[in-house]
Amino acid sequence: MTLDPGYLEYAHRAEGMDHGLYRWSNLFSRKPLVWPHGERVLTWIVIDLEWFPITPNAKPFLAPGHMQTAYPDYRHYTSRDYGNRVGIYRLLDALDGVGAKASIAMNSAIAERYAPLVRDIVAAGHEIVAHATDMNATIATGVPVAEERAMIAASLDTLETVTGTRPKGWLSIARSQSFDTPALLAEAGLAYACDWVNDDLPYRMTTAHGPLLNLPLNHELSDRQILNVQQQSMASYCEQIRDAFTWLSAEADASGGGRMLPLNLTPYITGLPYRVNEFEGLLRWLGGQPGHGFATGAQIAATADGQLD
């Protein structure tokens, strides 16, 4: 029995993914991206600063890191809160030690609840990236468009009120989007999002409400994935980051353009006392490598925007 040829026809079939947000392209065949001072590799540090309601919302899905045991789940709630009381300050001190500025992906509930912490972050010159309202504000297709639009606006409005600056970047919870999210983010005036992880360099999306850059925030190199999910040591994490830098630097040499090394950090994971010393050593190592620089997402997006098709 032969298959009807019409069975394989699909109106939206395209090279790469079946959507019109961007054209598929091979990283190694593109025009090289050049960083502002000729760096070979820019390390982009993104710190997730999150508030988990003690009553979790499992619709459309339970956010990673959410409460796990019966209400009231004080063990998990307070371990997450440790990151906002202690761990974040250790990470800020580590960044200050090498003069690095980070992108702080912040739930707007953090700004409402911990205003002194937010002031400390802004005073130190770090970028604020919008990270939804709280860890119950997950996105997936099926969430009404009006509800998703209102959540995005509430997050941006609150962060602007507390910090004095409207965020340029967006990170969805669990990097999860609906089919509507890119257009809604562009509509809200955001310059870039960090959710799609299918590249090592920024690329441009075209939506119904205008352009939006995607800055791929590598999930496999996140502290949550390596330290919590895979249960590897901090020494192994640091070794993997050094290996990634070495490889990316060699690629940059070969291509004549720059590369990006994204580090996604969680204060209640990397900010623990038995991990911070090795993390500080990693930052010092990166800072001492020839052709290396630290940059925020806003800085990377502004540089890439003028060079991308």
The stretch 168-175 carries a mean pLDDT of 98
| pLDDT level of residue 19 (50, 70, 90 thresholds) | confident
Instruction: Round to whole Å and give the CA distance between 206 and 208.
Output: 7
| Cα angle 76, 238, 81; round to 5 | 20
Instruction: Round to whole Å and give the CA distance between 103 and 156.
Output: 15
**Domains of the chain by range and CATH?**
34-305 (3.20.20.370)
Q: What is the pTM of this model?
A: 0.95
Q: What pLDDT score was predicted for residue 118?
A: 96
Q: Residue 10 above 80 pLDDT?
A: no
- Single-letter residue type at 255: S
Contact 205, 309 (CB under 8 A): no
Contact 164, 121 (CB under 8 A): no
| Residue of 62, 81, 54 lying closest to 173 (CA atoms) | 62
Q: What is the dihedral of CA 142, 144, 148, 153, to 10 degrees?
A: 180
| Residue of 137, 110, 113 lying closest to 49 (CA atoms) | 110
Q: How far is CA 159 from CA 6, 44, 105, 114, 170, in A?
A: 51, 21, 11, 12, 12
pLDDT digits (tens, 9 = 90+) for 124-149: 999 999 999 999 999 999 999 999 99
| pLDDT level of residue 1 (50, 70, 90 thresholds) | low
